[in-house]
Amino acid sequence: MITTTGLTKVYQSRGREVTALDDVDLQVREGEVFGVIGQSGAGKSSLIRCVNLLERPTSGTVTVDGRDLTALAGRGLRAGKELREARSRIGMVFQHFNLLSSRTVQDNVELPLEILKVSGAERSRKALELLDLVGLADKARAYPGQLSGGQKQRVGIARALAGDPKVLLSDEATSALDPETTRSILTLLRELNRALGLTVLLITHEMDVVKTVCDSAALMKKGKVVESGTVSELLATPGSELARELFPVGGHASGPDRTVLDVTFHGETATQPVISQLSRTYNIDISILGAAMDTVGGRQIGRMRIELPGPYEENVVPVGFLREQGLQIDVVDDNPSAAAADGPALAEEAAE
């Protein structure tokens, strides 16, 4: 539904060049909720602004719903007719709502329809239908100043849906909201995604958001996408940083010369017997340093951090045993002295 190839954005800022996007290839499938995660300055907002051509990319292409937007003329507010039309099919939700305070809730939702020159009666029918959809049917005549943050964002979402978009872009839409409101807005986005078949590309810096609503996710760093995939693919990728952040398990080695492993298992895998089997088969004592269970993308996932006696070289066989049971094993580099020498290389080798 959304594809970027070689997307690059270089800003000129006071004589300096800032590369905000560096050769980004992204694939967002139709009907999925796709989360982009990354620290401040990673290029997330630039990505969204390039996807709807509010910013013209320095190079690369953006295709939305089969249409190469980069081939259409104009930019920003001076976009050509074709680009404006294409863009009206891409809804945008902002962190600070961007509502007009002098207009009623209904008139805010009608705004994009006015721009699309939809007739008055049709505009108001559509606006009321959308307000009903976001649970604000009774607020049509209120002004933004009379609404809570969560309600304002619902208006923002209704407005974003006015042009019947196939794609909704959301740049930190919940960052200004408290956790409970955040959850209700996310649930709404998820419901809209399901009910309207809407493809959602959302930017967030909260891992919880990804865990709750996203089918897929990408991690951005310094203008590059360094990891991306469905959440379950990521969780099944050894060494995935996103998986680790989605699923933090604590616990440190109890001393030197220990092997610390993160064991990831999906709902159906029974870990408990596997761990005790391991212990019996190799006659080793296994300590559990930390564990977490959670629902990710509607699936039960668990992660456990365990410790085996002895350095990794002595545990190659037990680790192999665990992998053979279908568990995903990440060797945790928790030993400062080993890490300095050959720790990372071993961890990589172990990951293969």
Ligand X SMILES: Nc1ncnc2c1ncn2[C@@H]1O[C@H](COP(=O)(O)OP(=O)(O)O)[C@@H](O)[C@H]1O
From the CB of residue 104, how many other CB atoms can be counted at a distance below 10 Å? 18
H or E stretch covering 37? strand 33-38
In the bound state with Mg ion, the residue whose beta carbon lies nearer, of 94 and 143, is: 94
Single out the segment in contact with Mg ion by CB under 5 A; choices: 44-52, 142-150, 193-201, 324-332: 44-52
Q: Residue from 21, 28, 32, 45 that binds Mg ion (CB under 5 A)?
A: 45
CB of 16 to ligand X, least distance (A): 9
- Using CA atoms, how far residue 74 sits from 45, 60, 84, 139, 216, in Å, is 20, 16, 9, 37, 31
Lay out the sheet containing 67-68: strands in order across: 16-28, 2-13, 59-64, 67-68
Check binding of 246 to ligand X (CB under 6 A). Answer: no
290 binds, among ligand X, Mg ion, none (CB under 5 to 8 A by kind): none
Which two tokens mark 71?
A: 């081939």
Contact set for ligand X, span 6-65 (CB under 6 A): 11, 13, 18, 20, 38, 40-46
CB of 49 to ligand X, least distance (A): 8
The size of the interface with Mg ion (CB under 5 A), counted in residues, is: 1
The size of the interface with ligand X (CB under 6 A), counted in residues, is: 12
Contact set for Mg ion, span 134-173 (CB under 5 A): none
CB of 241 to Mg ion, least distance (A): 20
φ, ψ of residue 251 in degrees (nearest 5): 110, 135
From the CB of residue 178, how many other CB atoms can be counted at a distance below 10 Å? 11
In the bound state with ligand X, the residue whose beta carbon lies nearer, of 51 and 127, is: 51
In the bound state with ligand X, the residue whose beta carbon lies nearer, of 11 and 282, is: 11
In the bound state with ligand X, the residue whose beta carbon lies nearer, of 35 and 43, is: 43
CB of 251 to ligand X, least distance (A): 31
Contact between residue 155 and residue 173 where contact means Cβ atoms under 8 Å apart: no
CB of 144 to ligand X, least distance (A): 25
Contact between residue 126 and residue 162 where contact means Cβ atoms under 8 Å apart: yes
CB of 36 to ligand X, least distance (A): 8
- Using CA atoms, how far residue 272 sits from 68, 303, 317, in Å, is 51, 12, 19
Contact between residue 260 and residue 331 where contact means Cβ atoms under 8 Å apart: yes
Residue ranges binding Mg ion (CB under 5 A): 45
Residue ranges binding ligand X (CB under 6 A): 11, 13, 18, 20, 38, 40-46
